[in-house]
């Protein structure tokens, strides 16, 4: 992660840390999805040591602790403000860029929700996590796909995160080391009364870390008109999150099960869901 991007993302999330938790309802639903997928994939009731990357205000942390016995958790985040999260959940805090830091050895679960999109090379982190797990260790991770915030992309906004990646890329990145047990994609559309409310949502959740737009009155008026025209619906203007996620496990004493490209229907990568508001 470049120093400039890292500073910008850190500033953006630190600034919005207090508004994030309430405003980030898609991220809360994504954390639900991920923990649900982990439980359905047959995860054990207890993880001896958990490493969570990009914990933020703890949407995923809370759900992991509710679902599983996690006696030893290490929470990482770029933003020092997330130290509060670690305190709240009785965890050790590891502050800094997840890709650059040393990790605790042999975590039985590496988890991360809605963070890897901030990395210029998210798959480097995914591959590192796959290698770091011991035999029998679990990975549960979500990011965002290329269709994330399609409305903003269509309108030429610079607010997109740099590391969007399709779900099959997540599966391919871990395949040399892990068995992929589940892998999916969910579209989560939100509806707002106006394009200005969309911008407010982006500010409150800190997900506009990349945006460097100078909003003159004329530019804002053009943006609002185009947004309403292209993405106005009876429910309001849309903003669509495209979550991608994966649950995988390092095999015990054997090479991971290889899936050929023709495995299509049987592949755990087949899951796509569209969710209403
Ligand atoms: C959208 S929030 C998600 C937080 C939480 N996992 C959730 O599901 O609500 C993304 C978090 O990742 C953190 N982050 C971004 N880049 C990071 C990096 N390179 N290393 C560690 N944390 C990072 C941000 O500071 C922010 O708290």
For residue range 109-142, list pLDDT tens digits in order: 999 999 999 999 999 999 999 999 999 999 999 9
Q: Tell me, in angstroms, the distance from the centre of ligand 1 to residue 110's CA.
A: 14
The residue behind tokens 């309001």 is 236
Tell the residue nearest (CA) to atom 1 of ligand 1: 114
Give one DSSP letter per residue of 232-272, joined into a string.
Answer: EETTEEEEEEEEEEEEEEPPSSSPPPP--GGGGGGSGGGEE
Strands 50-52 and 109-112: parallel
- CA 213 – CA 77 distance, rounded (Å): 26
If pLDDT is split at 50, 70 and 90, which confidence band does 7 have? confident
Query: In the Cβ-directed half-sphere of 214, how many Cα atoms lie within 13 Å?
Result: 1
Ligand 1: which residue has its CA nearest to atom 18?
A: 97
How far apart CA 123 and CA 39 sit, in angstroms, is 24
**Ligand 1 atom with least separation from CA of 98:** 20
The predicted pLDDT at position 267 comes to 45
Ligand 1 centroid from CA 78, angstroms = 7
Tens of pLDDT, residue by residue over 19-35, are 767 776 899 999 999 99
**Ligand 1 atom nearest residue 118's Cα:** 16
Nearest-CA residue for ligand 1 atom 7 is: 59
Nearest residue (CA) to ligand 1, atom 12:
54
CB–CB of 269/183 below 8 Å? yes
More confident residue, 277 or 228: 228
What confidence score (pLDDT) does residue 254 get?
Answer: 62
Q: pTM of this prediction? A: 0.89
Q: Ligand 1: distance of its center to the CA of 222 in Å?
A: 32
Provide the 3-class DSSP secondary structure of residue 223: helix
Q: Whose CA is nearest to atom 13 of ligand 1?
A: 54
Ligand 1 centroid–CA 121 distance in Å is 15
Q: How far is the CA of 178 from the centre of ligand 1 (A)?
A: 24
User: What tokens were used for 10?
Assistant: 């850190």
Q: In the predicted model, what is the mean pLDDT of residues 190-211?
A: 83
Dist CA 201 CA 213 (whole Å): 16
Question: 277 with 179: CB under 8 angstroms?
Answer: no
Output the six-digit token pair for 253: 């004493």
User: Of 58-62, 150-154, 211-215, 242-246, where does mean pLDDT reach its minimum?
Assistant: 211-215
pLDDT digits (tens, 9 = 90+) for 229-267: 999 999 999 999 999 999 999 999 866 665 443 333 334
Give all domains of the chain, ordered by start, each with its CATH number. 3-148+161-188+241-252+267-274 (3.40.50.150)
Pocket of ligand 1 (CB under 6 A): 1, 9, 13, 24, 27, 31, 53-56, 59-60, 76-79, 82, 97-98, 113-115, 118-119, 207
Closest CA to 237 of 227, 251, 245: 227
Q: Where are the alpha helices (DSSP H) in 74-143?
A: 83-88, 122-132
Short-list 263, 95, 81, 92, CA closest to 171:
263
């Amino acid at each position: 992660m470049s120093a400039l991007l890292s500073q910008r993302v850190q500033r953006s999330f630190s600034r919005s840390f207090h508004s994030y938790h309430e405003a980030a309802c898609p991220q809360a639903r994504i954390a639900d999805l991920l923990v649900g997928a982990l439980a359905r994939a047959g995860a054990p009731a207890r993880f001896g040591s958990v490493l969570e990357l990009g914990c933020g205000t703890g949407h995923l942390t809370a759900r992991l602790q509710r679902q599983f016995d996690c006696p030893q958790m290490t929470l990482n985040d770029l933003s020092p403000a997330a130290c509060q999260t670690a305190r709240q959940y009785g965890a050790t805090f590891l502050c800094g860029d997840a890709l650059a830091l040393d990790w605790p050895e042999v975590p039985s679960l590496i988890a991360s929700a809605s963070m890897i999109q901030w990395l210029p090379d998210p798959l480097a982190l995914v591959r590192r996590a796959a290698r770091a797990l011991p035999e029998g260790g679990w990975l549960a991770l979500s990011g965002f796909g290329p269709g994330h915030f399609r409305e903003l992309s269509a309108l030429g906004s610079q607010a997109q995160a740099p590391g969007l990646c399709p779900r099959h890329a997540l599966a391919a990145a871990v395949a040399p080391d892990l068995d992929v047990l589940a892998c999916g994609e969910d579209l989560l559309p939100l509806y707002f009364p106006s394009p200005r409310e969309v911008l407010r949502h982006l500010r409150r959740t800190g997900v506009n870390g990349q945006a460097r737009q100078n909003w003159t009155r004329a530019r804002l008026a053009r943006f609002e008109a185009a947004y309403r025209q292209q993405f106005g619906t009876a429910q309001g203007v849309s903003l669509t999150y495209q979550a991608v996620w994966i649950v995988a496990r390092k095999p015990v004493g054997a090479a991971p099960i290889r899936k050929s490209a023709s495995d299509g229907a049987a592949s755990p990568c087949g899951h796509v869901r569209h969710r209403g508001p």
